[in-house]
Structure formats: C-alpha cells, structure tokens
Structure 1
C-alpha cells in the first residue's frame, strides 16, 4: 500500500487494554479463524524489551483480533545481514503483512522495497524507515524522549544538587538506529543551553552495555573526574555499562545517569540510587497498536493513525520520565511490574522509604 493511498488518514488510534499472554516460540497459530500470517521482525536482543514485552504483547493482541493467525517471529540480534535473510525467509511463506523494526536504518529501506516487490505491506515498528512503501509507523515521540532524559538530568543537577556548571558525558545509542539520532538531537537541545559542558560523546554500536562500559572507562582516564557531574545514557542497556564503569573506577557516589525503556534491572537501579532515571514508554500500547494495524492491513483495510511522519500515517505515543518518585505511578500502576518484582531483599529498605513495599 503506497503512502499516497493513506495520506489522508486521520483520527486517534484506539488501543485496547489486554493482559499479558504467554508468548509463542517461532511461528504460532494453527489454522482456523481468520487464518492471517503476520511477520514480526525485531532488531536486536541487547535491549530486553523486545523479547520480554513487545513479542508476547503483539502476539496476544493479534490472537485476540484474528484467532488462528500465524505469527512468524525473528530477532536479528543486531545483524542486518541476518535480518535480510529472515525477511527473505518469511516472504517465502507468503505473509499478509510484515511488522519490521529495522536492525539498520539504511538497509531497512531496501527491506521495505523487497517486501513491496512481493506485494506485502510493511509496518515500521519503533524505528522509522524512510521509504514511501511503508504503510504505517508506530513509535514514540523520539525527540521528546531525549528532551525528557536531558531535562531530568539538568534539573536534578541544578535543583537538587545545586550545580550550575561542570562536565557531562553523553553515551548515545546505536549509529544504525534512526531513533538514537532523534534521542541525541532532543538531548542536545536541552544540554547545549544548560551551562554544563559535554567533554566526551559516543555512539554505542547495537546499544551494547559492554561497549558503553569500555568507552566510559577510557574517558575516565583522560577527563577530570572531579568535574564529572553526570552521564546522559541513551537507554538502560548503555546505562548499565556506564554505571559498571563508574563503580569499577571507585567513583562514589555514582553521578546521576539517565536511561530509557524502564527495564526491570534499571528500575531496581533507580530504587537503589545508582541510576537516576529512565524513560517509561508504554510498550503495551505500542505493541497492541501495531497488532491492530497489522490485522487491518492483512485484511486489506486501512489502519487508523493519529498523525503522519514524513507523509507516512503514524501513531506517536507519549513517553514519561520515570524517577524514584513516580515508579508507583508508572510501571507499577500500569501492571508492567509488581512491587514484589522490583523489591528484592537487598532493596527492601529503599522500597519502604519510597512507599513501594
């Protein structure tokens, strides 16, 4: 379905609220019902959300809307060549629609073209793909994510710690992820006018914690540690590497570090005080919106969209800055985690102080 066929779509996307269903292994579904075949291709596994949340939530919503559907799932593990092979494999199985989170933004454009040549519509999931043949895009307002991260860091330094100048490091996301560039853009729009100085900046391949850790360790050998006030980390995986480097170097207390995705281990670090914040994004909304759009496209209907991105019908969901003060109102209130999930024995005292247990 071409962009021109969908450009006039407008209206708010409606997302149903469902409980988490058990995820399938490989392809799932066995005839009957609507009999749709939907491919769900994810980019990497360094970010735990894809396996833990996106996949089971997407599959559960598809099964509710179109019982008996088959879902062809693959994760590229950060390898664009592997994702190309995965796409070719699912196209050979005749899917009705492909939901694609591209491992590489440039290669993603050619993958969409390949699918279009097979007359299979593509939904760009989470990461934008700049190709007119994309039928729909669902994600979050990515520049706002970066703004939330940076503003939380700057406000904490100024309002809570009384700092007005000093040094920051920026550990950004993968250079192959177009979202990472938007997060970085949003962060710079805040940091560049904050009065704080960025003394080092790094784009982390595949969002890998080990690469983030190694880079920060190298920086700690060259910068003035006493002037380092905080670290902008693009997501929770890179944050874990940053915190490991800072802790391993004996820097105590660990200066404030940002994150994104509200992974369980990150929420626990926020409770413990070793990570200052994360950005909570309702993956449930995103996965279920994509599932509804996939079922619509598979049935030759048009998905509803709230806006457009570069002319492609899109739904951009709203992210939320999560700190220790609003854990109860975000991930716990939305049923992502329970207080029992978060509050391990070693965190009980901190959880009690925060009113989480």
Structure 2
C-alpha cells in the first residue's frame, strides 16, 4: 500500500486511488462522483499533500460525494484515458491537473462531449472547455524568484555573475509565467553585463533527475564556473543540489535559488545551507478554494465570488480563475512554514541540528 493510499483510505470520505493502469476504481457510492486527476509523481506535492487536502475539504463540504484520485504519471495519453474512463464511470466533475498542458485538448474535448464539467487545478490545459481554474499566481512566483536572485547577485562581489537557469516543463502556463516574472529582474542585469546565462534548459515533466543531469552537464561544460543555479520549483532546485553534492561541493559554495512548493526536502536544504529559498504556497488554501469551486459547479451555482479574481487564456477560452497568493521563504522567515502547521522544527532541522537556526528552535 502506498503512502498516499494510506492517507486517503484513512479519510472519512469515500475515496478510490488508481496507482497503476487506468482502469479503475471500485464500484462507486451513490452521490456526486468527483475525479481528481494528478499530473505526475515527480512533483511530489500532488500525491503527498494536494490529494489528501482536497479529499478532506470535499468531505467537509459534500460528505456524500466520492472523490477518486488518479495519476497521469507524466503521460498525457494515459491521462486522457483516465479521463475517458472517469466519464464511463459516471463522473459528475473532473478536477484536472494536466500531465502536459500542450497535449490536454483531447481530454478536455472528451469531457465536453460527455457534458462533464472540468475544474483546472494548478496546471493549465490548452485548447478546451473548462469551468474554472484554481492556481497560485504564477507570475508572482516568478517575480519572487527573480527578486530574490537579484538580491543575492547584488550582494556578490563585483564582476559578471554566471547563472545556470533550470526551467520547468516547456510550454506550460506556469513555466512561461515563472520565466516572465524572473526576467523582470534578470533582464536588466543581463543587459548591464552583471549577469551572464551560461547554461539554460527546460526540465521535461519537472523531473528532478533530469534537472540533476542538466546541472551536472553544466558544471562539466563550464569547468565549474557557475555562480548560481536558478530553478523554478523545489524539484529543479533539488536536482541542482544533488548535482553539487555528487560533485563534491560544499553547502553555499554555489548558490541554488528559485525554489517553489516548500517541500520538506527544500526546507531541509535551506536549513542545511544548500538552497537559498522556496516559494511557499499554502496548499490548504488551495484545497479550500478548489472544494468551494467544485461544490458550486456540482450544484449548478455561480462560482464563489470570494475566490474569483482573474482569467487564464487557454487558447480556447478565457477561463475564470482564482489566483492564490504566495510567500517567498528563506532562512530568515522559514518559521512561517512551521507556524502554518505544515512541518515541525524537528522535521525541518533534520540534518541541520547543529545550525544556529535549529539550536534556537529545537
């Protein structure tokens, strides 16, 4: 039994989890049938936190509903089959985090033809009908990452700072917005000659292993002449950290910044000195928003005005959107995550017990 299966089975909601194949869930209970489609297992937040939080939020609001959680495992063809299977099982709503935004039109079309509404969750999905989109403000994430990188660069010695950019999955709304936000701060530094981009590439499926391979290759090609790795989430920054560890660097010898998601691994890297920041997105807030929106859609009601504050263009329509706030976390305010009840100091400080931060808080 997987860790997520244990989490979900322990919930009082009726939950089914498909971890292999796309066929499916056991016989579903009476009541509304909601299928939550996860994108992959490489971005660990989705199975570890998003799914159980959404299940709990739905149980609170609509206890008679069944939430079935399934994972596309980074394969848009598999994910479309999961959507088609959900429709065949009588889905009333599909909460959809695309495995590949650029290849999601088929899944959206299948739902539209079957008359099953779709609520987009975090990732965008291009080329099809959706009732709404709940996501963290991706441009603000990129701006926070870029601003932090600029602050770190300003504190570095005079001369050209050599940066390797480890981007996200190519073509996604989030990746595009993170890059635009980062560029607001990087472009002037590049134009002035203060910054040189020595390596840059996208990370297929946000895979940390791919990010590590890129970082190792960059270190080899530049002879280690890299001052900063700038990522877009904790998977890409974690890949950079893994590359530095594998090649014998010490914590802080090369700056790693541009984290996002506040995973426990990223927070531990921050406490240990390997990573500079992570953008904290309170997934409890996202679960609340998504559940409120899901219930409104299922009940045929207007989308909840308290959440709706924008639109996302998915090349098919302007999708009504709930943009959620973000918080950049460094060593100076890592306590924000602990105070939010996400992790304990004992968890954050694993491997960094002797640091001043952890001695002050353990």
What TM-score, normalized by structure 2, do the two folds share? 0.86
1:1-357 aligned at under 5 Å gives the runs 22-23=10-11, 24-26=15-17, 31=29, 35-131=31-127, 133-159=129-155, 161-163=156-158, 165-194=160-189, 195-226=194-225, 228-252=226-250, 253-258=252-257, 259-304=259-304, 305-310=308-313, 311-329=318-336, 331-344=337-350, 346-350=351-355, 352=357, 355-357=360-362
Unaligned runs of 5+ residues in structure 2 are 1-7, 18-24
**Structure number with higher relative contact order (C-alpha < 8 Å, ≥ 6 residues apart):** 1
Structure 1 residue 283, shift from structure 2 partner:
1.2
Query: 1:141 & 1:164 partners in 2: Cα distance?
Result: 34
Alpha-carbon distance between aligned partners in 1 of 2:26 and 2:181, rounded to the nearest angstrom: 39
8 Å CA contact 2:119, 2:132 repeated in 1: yes
Q: Is the 8 A contact 1:157 1:163 kept in 2?
A: no
Could you tell me whether the CA contact under 8 Å between 1:100 and 1:124 is conserved in 2? yes
For residue 20 of structure 2, what is the aligned residue in structure 1? none
Deviations 1:195-233 (A, max 9, x none): 31111101011111111111121111221534x211111
Question: What's the offset of the Cα at 1:25?
Answer: 4.5
Distance in 2, Cα, partners of 1:356 & 1:44: 35
Aligned residues: 332
SS of equivalent residue, structure 1 residue 78? coil
Using the TM superposition, name which of 252-261 and 72-81 deviates more: 252-261
Q: 1:191 to 1:50 in 2, by over 3 A?
A: same
Is the 2:153–2:161 Cα contact (8 Å) retained in structure 1? Answer: no
The C-alpha deviation readout for 1:258-308, integer Å capped at 9, x for no partner, is: 211110011000000001111111111112211111111111112222222
Mapped to 2, the partners of 1:220 and 1:30 lie a distance apart of: 52
The secondary structure found in structure 2 opposite 1:348 is coil
Between the aligned partners of 1:186 and 1:76, the Cα distance in structure 2 is 28
The alpha-carbon distance between structure 1 residues 192 and 327, as it changes in their structure 2 partners (threshold 3 A), is same
CA distance in 2, matches of 1:29, 1:321: 43
Q: Which residue of 2 aligns with 1:3?
A: none
- Distance in 1 between residues matched to 2:300 and 2:197, nearest whole Å: 50
In structure 2, distance between residues paired with 1:351 and 1:274: 15
Instruction: Say what the alpha-carbon RMSD is for the aligned residues.
Output: 2.1
SS in structure 2 of the partner of residue 225 of structure 1: coil
Cα separation, 2, equivalents of 1:143 and 1:55: 24
Give the direction of change, closer, same or farther, for the CA distance of 1:104–1:176 in structure 2 (3 Å limit).
farther
Alpha-carbon contact 1:21-1:56 (below 8 Å) kept = no
Structure 2: distance between partners of 1:192 and 1:224: 25
Q: Is the 8 A contact 2:199 2:218 kept in 1?
A: yes
List structure 1 segments (4+ residues) > 6 angstroms apart after TM superposition: none
